Amino acid sequence: MKSTCLSARLWVCLLLAVVLSGTAAAQSASKPIIILVGPPSSGKTTQSEMIQKQYRFAVITREQLMKDDPSVLAQQKTPGINAIEPRMDPALNGLFRKRLEKTDISKGLLLDGYPATKDHGDFLQQVLREKGLGKPLVVKLEMPDSVVRERLKGQPPAQIEQDLKDYHRETDFLSTYFPEANIVKINGDRKPDAVFADIRKVIDKHVNP
């Protein structure tokens, strides 16, 4: 009789553990991870602010990471053949993990400017798996280079061309960087409200498929 009771209790405990585990996994998967990318002057900052206001997602930007611990990136500012662009520095991975640990992402997470390289993308995928989070949604604002040049008119032409070159190098292979992500392209060459309307449709479909 005692053996039967113990067995029944054991099955109840196991069943409860499975239910709780499934609930935790569902809660983690329900936290949307949005990655916003786009060329220079494409309005990423404006769209990031509109997304955050609408959905109350936590936001982590590349600029925040670079300011969190400048000493980590200081060595990359020294001229030399091995110098690395700070925005592409692998050291941003560690800074991202630290900031993520102290960020409330219960409503979701919006990433702006990070990840920017395959190394960043691989690290992000690893962190998402560790935390049991779902596949990210990559929203790519598309804009012709000619429009970018016009919007940046007044800046040194050489710098504009270098920025465009860096951007294409970083983003033309998004599917390689984020093989598990859902990548959606949005026409960014419109008024901010029109761009945001399309972004909302994409995010709503991602959150409530």
In Å, what is the CA distance from 62 to each residue of 35, 95, 99, 101, 202?
Answer: 12, 10, 11, 16, 23
113: region left, alpha or beta (phi > 0 left; psi from -120 to 50 alpha): left
Q: Provide CB contacts within 8 A for 182, sequence distance 6+.
A: 135, 136, 137, 138, 206
Beta bridge partners of 141: 186
Q: What is the pTM of this model?
A: 0.79
Dist. CA 163–CA 188, nearest whole Å: 17
Query: What was the pLDDT predicted at 189?
Result: 96
Q: Strand ranges (DSSP E) for 137-181?
A: 137-142
Using CA atoms, how far residue 17 sits from 6, 14, 23, 31, 43, in Å, is 16, 5, 10, 22, 46
Local structure of residue 44 (DSSP, 8 states):
H
Both tokens assigned to 196: 């945001």
Positions in the chain whose pLDDT score sits under 50:
2-29, 81
Q: How many CB atoms lie within 10 A of CB 44?
A: 19
Query: Cβ distance 108 to 34 under 8 Å?
Result: yes
Look-up: residue for tokens 């991202």?
96
Q: How high is the pLDDT of residue 172?
A: 78
d(CA 95, CA 89): 11
Phi then psi for residue 142, to 5 deg, are -100, 140
Q: What is the pLDDT of residue 81?
A: 45
Q: Which of 163, 167, 157, 93 shows the shortest CA–CA distance to 128?
A: 93
Task: Determine the length of the chain.
Answer: 209
Helices 118-130, 91-101: axis angle to 10 degrees equals 30
